[in-house]
Amino acid sequence: MTGKNHVERSFRLYFDDAGTTARNLTVSLVPGSVSGGGYVFDEADMTGVSETTYNFLKDRGSCEISARFHMDDTADTGSTTVINGHNAGAGTGTLTLQWGASGAAPASTNPEWEGEYVLINGGITLDGNKFVHNVTFKPTGSTAPAWTTVS
């Protein structure tokens, strides 16, 4: 992780490839580009609505996570390979964000944000002589993403 600062060395981002295998995309992550995660609450009348509707009405569905990745077409594990693997309609998967302590890699008992997300944007732009994916994930399904700990 050359070029990453103390804080960024302690962060990991995983997303399922089209075959539902969790892939560590951190190595291709543009430093300082991750935003989102956690809860965003709005007041809403929840009387008689389904769990899926509840998750979206409580703004968990609008609590997007965005990140930027340098293009990496390494077979199976590269960010470009994983992101483009969702173009065939398999855009959902488990998204996991992990934070380590004091610049160390995430370890058991460190915080983790995880849930089912759909990939809603995978556009490509030029950034300083390098092409990058601008990626946006949005929660999906009947179970809202949640805080837990690295296991």
Q: Is residue 141 part of a domain?
A: yes
Q: Is residue 102 part of a domain?
A: yes
Q: Tokens for 82?
A: 């994983």
Q: Is residue 1 part of a domain?
A: no
Closest by CA position to 119, among listed 98, 135, 97: 135
What CATH number should be reported for the domain holding residue 121? 2.30.110
Q: 120-142: per-residue pLDDT in tens? A: 888 889 988 889 999 998 888 88
Q: What total number of domains does the chain contain?
A: 1
Q: Is residue 2 part of a domain?
A: no
Q: Is 13 exposed, middle or buried (0-12, 13-18, 19+ CB in 10 A)?
A: buried
Q: What is the pLDDT along the chain (151 residues), one digit of tens a residue?
A: 445 555 577 899 999 988 889 999 998 999 889 988 776 655 555 566 566 665 655 555 567 899 999 998 888 888 888 888 876 555 788 999 999 988 889 999 999 999 999 888 888 899 888 899 999 988 888 888 888 999 8
Range of the domain at 99: 8-149
End-to-end CA distance of the chain: 22
